[in-house]
Chain A
Amino acid sequence: MSQATAKKNGVWATIWEYMTTVDHKKIAILYLIAGGFFFVLGGIEAMLIRIQLAVPNNDFLSAGLFNEVITMHGTTMIFLAAMPLLFAFMNATVPLQIGARDVAFPFLNSLGVWLFIFGGIFLNLSWFLGGAPDAGWTSYASLSIASPGHGVDFYALGLQVSGAGTLISGINFVTTIITMRAPGMTYMRMPLMTWTTLVAGVLIVFAFPPLTVGLFLLIFDRMFGSNFFIVEAGGNTIIWEHLFWIFGHPEVYILILPAFGIFSEIFSTFARKRLFGYSAMVFATVLIGFFGFMVWAHHMFTVGLGPTANAIFALATMAIAVPTGIKIFNWIFTIWGGSIEFTTPMLYALAFIPSFVMGGVTGIMQAVAPADYQYHDSYFIVAHFHYVIVGGVVFALLAGLHYYWPLMFATMLSEKLGKITFWLFFIGFHMTFLIQHFLGLWGMPRRVFTYLDGQGYNAANMISSLGAGLMALGVIVLVINIIITVAKNQKVGRDPWGDGRTLEWSLPLPVPYYNFAQIPLVRGLDAFWIEKKEGNGEMLPAESLDDFHMPNNSIIPFVMSLGLFVASFGALYFASGKEWAIDAVADLPVRPWAFWVLVIGLAITFISMITRSFKDDLGYYVTKEEVLRDLEEQERGAK
């Protein structure tokens, strides 16, 4: 039971608590730590890339190593940094925003985070076990089938494991938001963070299965001797491209929608105004989610699908700009005439608007299929997606980190250092990526490890690398800020920003492990704000004070994920040196133990699943007396 173990107070007790926790607030912290770690790792890889490209004819990284670094940079940033960090904020806020005591499936929540962590570790172990994947984050089959060694196998298996975790978490959030809302929290009263989480969850449910299928086909080809992508044997590599982008385009919306959610909260909080055009915002979110599935082939204009197919996908792509534009205008109207407070999160939010719009505009340019023949595979594309992903998603993550830090840890990050981080990061970001548009238009290709002197690329690349250095400085200041804040440990009380509007800010800090002593009654959009303005500043309870039910901790999710982690090694080495294997791994030494490792790993997973199904774990009750004691203590603390 959560509080019983935590009271032992040793380091090991804390670690054990986190390994077994099913509390969404602690899982959020796990996501934050693991995602933050991978973010730094991906950042180091980015710095290596920019050092290599800073000057012409550089041999800081060899061509092969460069391919590994760019592949791992992209894969890590998308799957292991951006998405988990968004999950951190979703876990930290959504159950609180809808007035629930936990998510719908706390056990699955824990399973999701451990699958992600083990998948991420597996992928990164490739660095030490014979070389990282080198076929790009898109891993096009024509490259990935030919890539020698086990690098691509690490990619396929690692993403399969962590992808399963993402899918599970997606289902969990959809169910939570549909079924666990407090009385009065109708759909059209849900804060935008909750809405965007819901739509992103739906996108995960629909978009991850195609990736799973594609990865399985790749795994079968590379590890078990099938021929889905092997052209000599009648396979077709284009199938991978379709499957990947059917997943891949929705994926970018899985990333950006929660980012929109975070910014919507920040805008209305620090402009001290209700979000302008709330229902249009909701409508636009849903519409973007729907359109997101109809446009995947805009990544494949140059494949030769034909002019009709290209035209259809080009038009569908441009259509997405309409709901996105609606959102941009609504944010502008939200701050219009508001009494704006320039906190760190608000700075990121204000910087996000022009930065993201620039990325959107280049997106529309690329959506013009004939023009895309020029842009495709050039640095222009690199500039586009960094403008949307860094200017949109990463800004949101940094803003969210400052904004939700008190909710997660009951302390405040330093505003002064936060603003220094912001300016370093903001200037560095534009310095790095603005110039890359021009590099692309001048003809510099992406994913090439160096360039010749005298092509006119030198100065621009140097500027770009210097900008990257500024961003790295910004992140270092952020890390210092976090260390100082944790060391000082100066607790803050309820509603630390002073202008909280939504339910999560109505809770005492640190948030009790059961969240709400009594499930609140929601009387409208911005539930807490309404009580501040029209009530006495306290949420009205929707139930009488009574015992309630909470789930028990469990180590099973950890063991289950560990089993898949072990099994992945078996699958990975299975084809080594076998005569039926593809050329890429046929010359490697035979690993006779691989099959048994696979079997043992799967056995661990299945046995833990069986244990889980046969062991009746009914959870426990939090008693009325304990809740009353907590409430009294809070009151004493407040005085």
Chain B
Amino acid sequence: MAELEAKSMTDTQLRNLRRQRTKEMRLQLTGFSFMIFLTFMAFGMVALDFNATFIMGIVMLFAFIQVVLQFYYFMHMKDKGHEFAKLFMVVGMFFAIAFCVTFIYIVWIGQPI
């Protein structure tokens, strides 16, 4: 509910902010190109007919890295003030994985354990 107050900044503050933003921008771009690169690699491996099991493992690994990058760099989980979001996501993933594992074992495979 806080009103937006347009406070004027001093020159140093402004310069610092600019520098920070440039750095942030550079990080975003690096992350982005890295992710494009990973995607490219994944497609490349399939195109080059590598061993299927090998591809599966590597693509899963890439996917995991991409998810982490996505969360931390693009969705700002690395920044301050996101502790609760982080906690929620980790707990949510924990539950989701637990549910999937039980579904695979006791519903899909269907053998009582």
Q: Contact at B106–A309, with CB atoms within 8 Å?
A: yes
Q: Tell me how many residues of A have a C-beta within 8 Å of chain B.
A: 23
With the chains together, A549 CA to B4 CA distance in Å?
A: 12
Q: Which residue of the partner chain, among B1, B84, B98, B112, contacts A305 with CB atoms under 8 Å?
A: B112
With the chains together, A297 CA to B107 CA distance in Å?
A: 12
Closest to A180 in B: B1
Chain B residues whose C-beta falls within 8 Å of the C-beta of A294 in the assembled complex: 98
Q: Does B113 belong to the interface (CB within 8 Å)?
A: yes
Q: Contact at B103–A306, with CB atoms within 8 Å?
A: no
Q: How far is the CB of B96 from chain A (nearest CB, A)?
A: 9
Q: Contact at B3–A549, with CB atoms within 8 Å?
A: yes
Q: Contact at A206–B106, with CB atoms within 8 Å?
A: no
With the chains together, A378 CA to B108 CA distance in Å?
A: 29
Q: Does B102 belong to the interface (CB within 8 Å)?
A: yes
Q: Does A242 belong to the interface (CB within 8 Å)?
A: yes
Q: How far is the CB of B2 from chain A (nearest CB, A)?
A: 8
With the chains together, A306 CA to B95 CA distance in Å?
A: 21
Chain A residues whose C-beta falls within 8 Å of the C-beta of B99 in the assembled complex: 210, 242, 246
Given A238-B107, A294-B98, A205 contacting B84 (CB threshold 8 A): no
Contact with B along A285-324 (1 / 0, CB 8 A): 0000010011001000000111111000000000000000
Interface SS, A side: helix
Chain B residues whose C-beta falls within 8 Å of the C-beta of A376 in the assembled complex: none
Chain A residues whose C-beta falls within 8 Å of the C-beta of B112 in the assembled complex: 304-307, 309
Interface SS, B side: helix
Chain B residues whose C-beta falls within 8 Å of the C-beta of A242 in the assembled complex: 99, 102-103, 107
B1-43: which have CB < 8 Å to A?
Answer: 1, 3
Closest to A104 in B: B1
Q: Does B74 belong to the interface (CB within 8 Å)?
A: no
Chain A residues whose C-beta falls within 8 Å of the C-beta of B95 in the assembled complex: 206, 293
Chain A residues whose C-beta falls within 8 Å of the C-beta of B51 in the assembled complex: none
Q: How far is the CB of B107 from chain A (nearest CB, A)?
A: 6
Q: Does A178 belong to the interface (CB within 8 Å)?
A: yes
Q: Contact at B107–A236, with CB atoms within 8 Å?
A: yes
With the chains together, A294 CA to B91 CA distance in Å?
A: 12
Q: Does A548 belong to the interface (CB within 8 Å)?
A: yes
- Would you mind naming 21 contact pairs between A and B with Cβ atoms under 8 Å apart? A101-B1, A205-B88, A206-B91, A206-B92, A206-B95, A210-B99, A236-B107, A238-B107, A242-B107, A290-B91, A293-B95, A293-B98, A304-B112, A306-B113, A307-B113, A308-B113, A309-B106, A309-B112, A309-B113, A549-B1, A549-B3
Q: Does B111 belong to the interface (CB within 8 Å)?
A: yes
With the chains together, A238 CA to B105 CA distance in Å?
A: 13
Closest to A619 in B: B1
Instruction: Show the binding face of B for A, using Cβ within 8 Å.
Output: 1, 3, 84, 88, 91-92, 95, 98-99, 102-103, 105-107, 111-113
Contact with B along A208-228 (1 / 0, CB 8 A): 001000000000000000000
With the chains together, A627 CA to B112 CA distance in Å?
A: 67
Q: Contact at B111–A306, with CB atoms within 8 Å?
A: yes
Q: How far is the CB of B17 from chain A (nearest CB, A)?
A: 24
Q: How far is the CB of A471 from chain B (nearest CB, A)?
A: 37
With the chains together, A309 CA to B104 CA distance in Å?
A: 13
Chain A residues whose C-beta falls within 8 Å of the C-beta of B91 in the assembled complex: 206, 290
Q: Contact at A239–B113, with CB atoms within 8 Å?
A: no
Chain B residues whose C-beta falls within 8 Å of the C-beta of A307 in the assembled complex: 112-113
Chain A residues whose C-beta falls within 8 Å of the C-beta of B98 in the assembled complex: 293-294
A-B CB proximity, top 3 nearest: A306-B112, A306-B113, A308-B113
* Given A205-B88, A549-B3, 15 further pairs, Cβ under 8 A: A101-B1, A178-B84, A210-B99, A242-B99, A290-B91, A293-B95, A297-B102, A304-B112, A305-B106, A306-B106, A306-B111, A306-B112, A307-B113, A309-B105, A309-B112
With the chains together, A202 CA to B89 CA distance in Å?
A: 12
Q: How far is the CB of B43 from chain A (nearest CB, A)?
A: 31
Chain A residues whose C-beta falls within 8 Å of the C-beta of B105 in the assembled complex: 309
Chain A residues whose C-beta falls within 8 Å of the C-beta of B113 in the assembled complex: 305-309
Q: How far is the CB of B93 from chain A (nearest CB, A)?
A: 11
Chain B residues whose C-beta falls within 8 Å of the C-beta of A236 in the assembled complex: 107
Q: How far is the CB of B55 from chain A (nearest CB, A)?
A: 29
Chain B residues whose C-beta falls within 8 Å of the C-beta of A306 in the assembled complex: 106, 111-113
With the chains together, A533 CA to B99 CA distance in Å?
A: 50
Chain B residues whose C-beta falls within 8 Å of the C-beta of A238 in the assembled complex: 107
Chain A residues whose C-beta falls within 8 Å of the C-beta of B88 in the assembled complex: 202, 205
Q: How far is the CB of A639 from chain B (nearest CB, A)?
A: 33
With the chains together, A277 CA to B98 CA distance in Å?
A: 32
